[in-house]
Amino acid sequence: MILTLSTTHSKVYDWLYDILLNLGFSDQLTHTINALILLILLVMVLYALDYLSRRIFLISVMGLIKKSKTLFDDYLLKHKVLKYFTHIISIIIIRLFIPLIFIGFPKWINTTLQIADVVLVLIIGILLNSVTKAVRDYLKTKKAFEDKPLDSYAQVVSIFIFFVCGIIIFTTLTGKSPYAFLISLGAASAILMLIFKDTILGFVASVQVSANDMVRVGDWVEMPKYGADGAVLSINLNTVKVQNWDKTITTVPTYAFISDSFKNWRGMQESGGRRIKRAIYLKMSSFKFLNQEDLEKFKKYRLIKDYILEKEIEIKEYNKAIDAEFLPANTRRLSNVGVFRIYANKYLRENQGVNQNMTIMVRQLAPTPHGLPMEIYCFSKDIRWVYYEGIVADIFDHLLTIVKEFDLEIFEEPSGADFTNYLPK
């Protein structure tokens, strides 16, 4: 087959050579014009074949793609895999015709064949890179891979593909074995490490982040050093893109997630509860013991009715058992701040917005110059930001308003209006 093709090439070249020689051209000029004519004809034929093959091939393939149920072939088409495949066919044809075109220039044949081989290797590398991108995009549609750093994996594969292509090109141009290239690469490793420092750090960090499951696409991360506070959009070899809550984009080096500290809110998202931790500051001057009238009033409050009745019996029995004068210092009595704490706890226990399977607590913190902090500690059932803020607001709207029923006061800094009320009129 190869012999027949080579013979046909010689006959075509000789026929055209004889025609040009009969026209009076010199031998050297005849070889040059002959080579140019054949080269132009080859380019025109290849362009026509490439155009027709892409038209016919792509149209027929697109019909099959539209009928197929899988999305993988759609991504192959998107990344021009079929287009690069037809280019490979064109380069192979060119390589076969190079010996015919340059018969009159034997020294050029090896050089042009080497150039054709280099172009062929590059196009094959681009083709494989496009296939890698198609696989990456296809895997992103799968639920099992939606939070994986597929961009990083794809970039590593792309680097490997072009590294291998570089070795093959080096071998093709120099005629040396791949080992010679690797040895020279080792000698220049210090320079390469300096040039590709960020890429190497990013690669190592990307592997560690993935292996340790530190960050996933979609995670809410907080990194004050880089001004990042939002959801992870993508994890690449060199950078991690974070969309902040104000819709700005922050780009963080991948290796920063290994070298620096950051907060990942994924645990909160997976737990099904978002923490509420906020205090109400009560004026300590409003604290008092409850009298019988107060107790009768609180017995009408559904949330604390049972608590008041139980405590009333318990305290009466205790006070009756002690042999001391009936004074506040000698007896047990309920206070308005204590009953309010129980009321707040009961209220949280029945609140539908609070996750009842997680910690619920109302506690007193150390007194401050701003009053006694009564801290609400619980978890919302809905972790979505807007709904979470709504739940928090509903809880504190109620508690801040109901404190008056317990004869308690909320501490707040005095304003101009407060001072005006004390001025003589």
* CA angle (382, 387, 391) in 5-degree steps: 85
Residue pLDDT, tens place only, 287-304: 999 988 999 999 999 999
Predicted local confidence at residue 30, as pLDDT: 63
Residue 394 near residue 353 (C-beta atoms within 8 A): yes
Predicted local confidence at residue 174, as pLDDT: 78
Its CATH architecture, for the domain 210-267, is Roll (2.30)
What is the radius of gyration, based on Cα positions, of the chain? Answer: 40
Residue 213 has a CB neighbour count (10 Å cut-off) of 11
Among residues 138, 149, 134, 146, the alpha carbon closest in space to that of 234 is found at 149
Please report, for the chain, the start and end positions of each structural domain, with discontinuous segments joined by +. Answer: 2-148, 210-267, 274-417
The ranges of the chain with pLDDT < 70 are 1-35, 37-39, 41-42, 46, 49-50, 53-68, 98, 100-109, 146-147, 181, 184-190, 192-193, 195-196, 323-328, 416-425
What is the C-alpha separation between 272 and 381, in angstroms, rounded?
Answer: 6
Residue pLDDT, tens place only, 219-252: 889 999 998 999 998 887 788 899 998 899 999 9
Predicted local confidence at residue 336, as pLDDT: 94
Among residues 380, 385, 338, the alpha carbon closest in space to that of 362 is found at 338
Q: What's the whole-model pTM score?
A: 0.57
CB within 8 A of 95, min separation 6: which ones?
113, 116, 117, 120
Angle between helices 27-67 and 81-101 (to 10 degrees): 160
Q: Please, what is the end-to-end C-alpha distance for the chain in angstroms?
A: 117
